[in-house]
Structure 1
Amino acid sequence: MKRFTFPCDFGGKKAPFHAYIGNPVPGSHPLKYQAAWLQEERGGIIPADVMDSFQKLYEIAKENGVSFEELCVHALGTRQE
């Protein structure tokens, strides 16, 4: 599991949000459950361009038979804890 940080919208204010990327449930958006939690529990919204980027990376990983986590690290970079 890899951690990525990106700005999210909290009532018109931007603040960083840490998302954890693993192997998504087949047929689901890679950030589906984290986006739902963020909105329901914290009132935040992951920007559409971020959602789209992770969806595209997931599709590329599936098409090419590569690790989604590793493709995200390669494409976006990540900080290790």
Structure 2
Amino acid sequence: MSDAENTQRNKELEADIKKLYPKIGYIKVNGVYQGSKEPSFLIYALGVDLLTTIRELGYQYEQDSVVYSTSNSSEAWLYFTTL
């Protein structure tokens, strides 16, 4: 995927997050995956289970994985969204 295509898909993902969950919060962060820096999103929503949604969005936008944690946990889980 080219840098331009990746940038466009990142914008589309952000629009989907806003559309699907207008009342939840998110911030843009600089992530690192396999040694490469990539723009990423940290989504936070107390009392809302986002696991299914973030896995579906990860698959739709061809992300290799998503990270999930609950508000009452000090652990996080890595879910692969591609085979």
TM > 0.5 fold call: no
User: Comparing both structures, which one devotes a greater share of its residues to helix?
Assistant: 1
Which has the bigger relative contact order, CA under 8 A and spacing at least 6?
1
TM-score normalized by structure 2? 0.35
Question: If the length of structure 1 is used for normalisation, what is the TM-score?
Answer: 0.35
Whose strand proportion is higher, 1 or 2?
Answer: 2
